[in-house]
Amino acid sequence: MKSKNLSFPYLIWMLLFTLFPLAMLFYYAVTDNNGNFSLASLSDIIYYKDVFINSFWIAFASTVICFILAYPLAFIISKMKKRAQQAIVMLLMIPMWMNFLLRIYSWVLLLQDSGPIRQVLSVFDLEASLINNKGAVILGMVYEFLPFMVLPIYTVIIKIDHSLIEASQDLGCSGLMVFKRVILPLSVPGIISGVTMVFVPAASTFLVAQYLGGSGDIMIGDVIEKTFFGNYHTGSALSLVLMIGILFFLIIMNKFGDEEAIGL
């Protein structure tokens, strides 16, 4: 009975700050300004299909790049001495202590036409637009969310039983085979966690595209932020569709994770 009483603060918190906001979001998505049932706001989603596609594409590209960079980095860190591991993990976390907006604005200063990167390129007669394009948005995404891919993979790899690696080596497996048959399969849970932790916020984030992207790189998070100030019914409808899309992605990732666990 006491354990149930201890859960009441959590239940109240969930009710006030999770379930109630979701219920209000759903209510405004399916009503008009007079409070009558209407699907007009949801039907307007078709006008934003390109923004949804662009947002999920940028999120997908950012997630893939984060994985390509994070897995080798996590594997290398796991092979270091304990003190070195702690130092590298701390270096990965330090930028996260800064304000999100400050981190993005620092990239604006670096990539702008008068920035240091452009000046270095001009010395070698290399002229390229480094900002206000999709590449800059993806760069900002990767910078922001890379630690969320590295840490889950690293955490899983360091927990792999070394006796399994030694057993595979005793059976004649080469280093590549050990990685392919033992380390990579056992690190799948960390990969799934990392992919989820990167893709979900990347698909729904805002400000990154506003500061680093061009007019054609707007993301759904930016549209929702601006729409809510003018029409919260449409903003709620956009948020609802985005949540459904992310929920569908999470279901797929969880199902894939369960299948991998069975396979292992």
Q: What is the CATH number of domain 45-263?
A: 1.10.3720.10
SS3 of 31, please?
strand
pTM, two decimals, is 0.89
Which amino acid type is present at position 69? L
Instruction: Give residue-wise pLDDT tens across range 88-139.
Output: 999 998 888 888 888 999 999 999 888 888 888 888 877 778 899 999 999 9
Sequential DSSP letters for 83-149: HHHHHHHHHHHGGGGS-HHHHHHHHHHHHSTTSHHHHHHHHTT-----SSSHHHHHHHHHHHHHHHH
Domain ranges of the chain: 45-263
Across the strands, what pairs with 37? 31
Instruction: Give residue-wise pLDDT tens across range 166-207.
Output: 888 888 888 788 888 888 999 999 999 999 999 999 999 988
Instruction: Give the integer Cα–Cα distance in Å for 204 and 52.
Output: 10
Across the strands, what pairs with 31? 37
